[in-house]
Each structure stands twice: as C-alpha cells, then as structure tokens.
Amino acid sequence: MDAIASAPIQSQSRYYIHVEAGIYEEIVEVWGNKTNIALIGDGENLTKITMNRRFPEFKTYKTATVFSQFMFFLTLSHLVILPFYLKALQSVSFCYRFMAKYITFENSAGEGSQAVALMSESDQSSFCRCSFLGYQDTLYAKSGKQFYKECDIYGTVDFVFGDAAAVFQSCNLYAWLPNRIITFTAQGKKIPNQVSGFVIQNSTLTAAPDLQSNKSQVHAFLGRPWFAWSTVIVMQSYLDSIIDPAGWYEWPGHRTDELTYIEYGNWGPGAGTGRRISWVGYKALNQSEEVIPFTVSKFITGDSWIPETGVPYTSSLY
C-alpha cells in the first residue's frame, strides 16, 4: 500500500490513512519504523484487504495479508555481552500504536492449512469494528498490548492465536465450518512472569450466521494450550450450545499443568462449568475481585493509551 510507504518515519502523532470502499488484493506490511499508523476504512462490509498466502508455501507469519511488525535497528551496542543486554535494548525501536477501524482483513486461501488474515506485534495496537476472515490461524495476535472492540472474527482451528496481551471486548467469534473440532484460541505464553494472555469479555462465541440452523453439527472448544503457560480468560460472555461441555481441548504433547484458563460470569447454553476439564490451572470463578486483574485497565493498562485512539471501551467489568 503506497500510502504506508509514504508515511513519516517514527511519527510521534497519528498518521491517518483513509482506505476507500473497495476490495484490495495485496499484502500490506507496516514495519516498525512506521509508528502511529491508523487505517480507516469506509465500513467492514465495504473496505476489504485480501490475499491468499498459505503454509507451507510461506512461513506462518508470512501468510498474513496484513502485518505490523517490530523492527530492529542494529548498532554496535548489540554486540555487548549478555550482562549488558538491557543497554542494548535502548537501540531497539518497536512498531507501536497501529490502529485499524471499519476494515475487513481476509486470507482467502481456504481451509486445510495455516493462513493468517492479520498479524500484529505492534504494542498498543487497537482494532475497532473490523472483520477478520479465515479458517486456521485467522488472527495472529503475536505480541504487545492489543485491544479489539466490536470486531467479528471467523475461523476454525486456533483462529485467535499468539503471545500478545490482548483484550477482545464486545466481539463476535464465529466458528465457520460444521463437522470439525473448532478451537477458538491457541494462546502462546512462554514464560511464567510474562505479561501475555487473551481476555474475551462481553463477547459472543457461536457458529457463523450461515450455520445457525445447523449448530448441532458444530463442535467447539474455547481453546487449547499452545505453550505451557497459555493464558485465556473468558468472562461476561455468551457461550452458545456449540461449546463442548469439557470447555477446553487438550493438545497432545503440550503441558496442561502450568496454564491459566478462567471462566467468569458467562451465560448461554454452553456456559455451564459442571463438566469442564479438571486441569490444575482451570478455574470457574464467582468473585469479581478475582478477575479485576484481567480487565482493560489492569491487564493492558488501557486507560493510559486507548482514549487517544477514540475507540470506545469499558475499563473494568460490565
């Protein structure tokens, strides 16, 4: 996208790009030196960016139709020995504060392999009223603090995945195919003290609109652990009948003894926790103070950066 290429380097203020109604078949790259980029479409049903890369022809992250990445600026300070590594980090510039509104991001490669619609490792990135269309690995929330508001996310296997600290608020997560084992999330927290995890709040987890009449054919799980400390909180959300009574799905060969999976204040035919898995890290909580650490204001310190975006949000619990 030429408009991104012409954007200022390391901008300290918002740089808005209007993406007019239409279908754009291209790969869009937002590199780390392009900070504060905001893509504003004319509506998620009007503005679409689409491409069809898939694994194994491309590495997973390279299948992304749109991706915002950090960039390393290598200097001599990177050559210092490990005890002085923190000093080296002063020479690293990270892509931050990417924002998108009213746009559809699609990977049209189809089912059967990893095919990412959007990958973000932009810290303090935000998305409002966007759609993400794909099957396996639709949305790669790779790293940084991220916020999604009133977005529609479609997929089948691990279709929200990554290592970010991300809150999905008032979103719709849609299982797209029948007769499949659907896994909504595959969160990848790698070390115990890392700020990483997915919070799904005041959202709906259900079958795609064209499958509503055949929901009995859809068999879904809230997530499975990509890495040992996988962290997912589903709270104050509607869980449809497609959710398996066990709730969460085991990934053969992946640990379940260190993860954190929490459910709080959910409703709907799939929200019952009486037959959930019995993993040590799974909890069905009833006290609001126990989930306050996973609210927007606490988990991603959203009060300090979301207001600037103009994206509406709820700071705490509903």
Which domain range does residue 288 map to? 146-309
Say if 316 falls within a structural domain: no
Say if 267 falls within a structural domain: yes
Q: What is the pLDDT of residue 177?
A: 84
How far from chain centre, in Å, is Cα 81?
35
119 plus 29 within the same structural domain: yes
Say if 278 falls within a structural domain: yes
Mean pLDDT of 60-71: 84
163 plus 138 within the same structural domain: no
CATH number at residue 105: 2.160.20.10
Q: Which H/E stretch holds residue 308?
A: helix 306-309
- Confidence category of residue 92, pLDDT binned at 50, 70, 90: very low
98 plus 135 within the same structural domain: yes
Residue at which a domain ends, from 92, 111, 143: 143
- Confidence category of residue 67, pLDDT binned at 50, 70, 90: confident
Mean pLDDT of 138-154: 97
Q: What is the pLDDT of residue 2?
A: 83
Say if 242 falls within a structural domain: yes
- Confidence category of residue 69, pLDDT binned at 50, 70, 90: confident
Q: Please identify every residue annotated as catalytic.
A: 158
Residue at which a domain ends, from 143, 165, 189: 143
Residue 213: pLDDT over 50: yes
150 plus 116 within the same structural domain: no
Is residue 51 within 8 A of residue 107, CB to CB? The reply is yes
Say if 315 falls within a structural domain: no
pLDDT of 263-307, one tens digit each? 999 999 999 999 999 999 999 999 999 999 999 999 999 999 999
105 plus 210 within the same structural domain: no
Say if 317 falls within a structural domain: no
Number of domains in the chain: 2
193 plus 181 within the same structural domain: yes
Q: What is the DSSP string of 218-273?
A: -EEES---SSTT-EEEEES-EE-TTB-TT-S---TTS--SS-EEEEES-BSTT---
Residue at which a domain ends, from 143, 175, 198: 143
139 plus 186 within the same structural domain: no
d(CA 112, CA 172): 23
Say if 163 falls within a structural domain: yes
pLDDT of 108-121, one tens digit each? 999 989 999 999 99
62 plus 211 within the same structural domain: no
200 plus 227 within the same structural domain: yes
167 plus 87 within the same structural domain: no
Q: What is the pLDDT of residue 95?
A: 67
Query: For residue 123, which amino acid is it?
Result: D
- Confidence category of residue 96, pLDDT binned at 50, 70, 90: confident
134 plus 264 within the same structural domain: no
More confident residue, 106 or 90: 106
More confident residue, 131 or 70: 131
Q: Which H/E stretch holds residue 146?
A: strand 145-149
108 plus 215 within the same structural domain: no
